[in-house]
């Protein structure tokens, strides 16, 4: 997992244009419908009640992925899959199923992915384009002198 505060590929949230794009996405009908849906409310409740141990540290999907990749156990609330004899993965029934429903891990992943990417996709990917503009400008600063040299050499 990346250290998001120094990740060179990370978002540049301090840019006013990027902040405006995020604000428009969050205020959009699409996001508001998603945010207030029963599924979204349930997943936020699951995160707040079961997965956040320190209110100062936000819950992140990449923490779950690191747990899985290092063969460590997931928290019981989202460790809700068993493999049947035919190889199919099915949700289990336990004390969390009544409270949050079945297939919590899959539903939580889907919720987190949509919540993290909805601003990136909004308005023909406006946020993504603005967010990566600085990176592309830096890349072009290195490429343009090479192109100019090649043009000079070819004359």
Question: Cα–chain-centroid distance for residue 154?
Answer: 46
CA distance 82 to 129: 41
**Are 46 and 77 within 8 A, CB to CB?**
yes
pLDDT of 35-79, one tens digit each?
999 999 999 999 999 988 777 666 777 777 788 888 888 888 888
Hey, which residues does 90 pair with through a beta bridge?
Answer: 82
Helix (H) or strand (E) holding 90: strand 89-91
**Residue 41 has what pLDDT?**
97
Residue 1 has pLDDT above 50, yes or no: no
> Can you list the alpha helix ranges (DSSP code H) found in the chain?
16-27, 29-36, 38-46, 61-69, 95-100, 104-154
Question: 105 near 81, Cβ under 8 Å?
Answer: yes
Q: What is the pLDDT of residues 73-126, one digit of tens each?
A: 888 888 886 655 665 555 556 789 889 998 899 999 999 999 888 888 888 788
β partners of residue 32: none
pTM (two decimals) = 0.69
Q: pLDDT tens-digit profile of 2-27?
A: 565 666 555 666 678 778 888 888 99
Angle at 111 between CA 46 and CA 124, to 5 degrees: 150
């Amino acid at each position: 997992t990346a250290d998001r505060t120094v990740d060179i590929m990370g978002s540049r949230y301090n840019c006013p244009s990027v902040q405006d794009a995020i604000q428009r996405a969050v205020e959009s009908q699409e996001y508001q419908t998603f945010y207030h849906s029963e599924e979204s409310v349930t997943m936020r409740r699951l995160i707040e009640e079961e997965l956040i141990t320190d209110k100062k540290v936000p819950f992140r999907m990449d923490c779950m992925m690191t747990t899985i990749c290092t063969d460590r156990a997931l928290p019981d609330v989202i460790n809700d899959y068993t493999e049947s004899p035919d190889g199919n993965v099915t949700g289990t029934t336990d004390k969390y199923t009544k409270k949050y429903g079945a297939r919590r891990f899959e539903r939580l992943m889907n919720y987190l992915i949509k919540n993290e990417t909805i601003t990136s996709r909004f308005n023909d990917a406006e946020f993504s384009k603005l967010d990566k503009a600085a990176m592309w400008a830096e890349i072009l600063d290195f490429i343009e002198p090479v192109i100019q040299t090649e043009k000079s050499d070819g004359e």
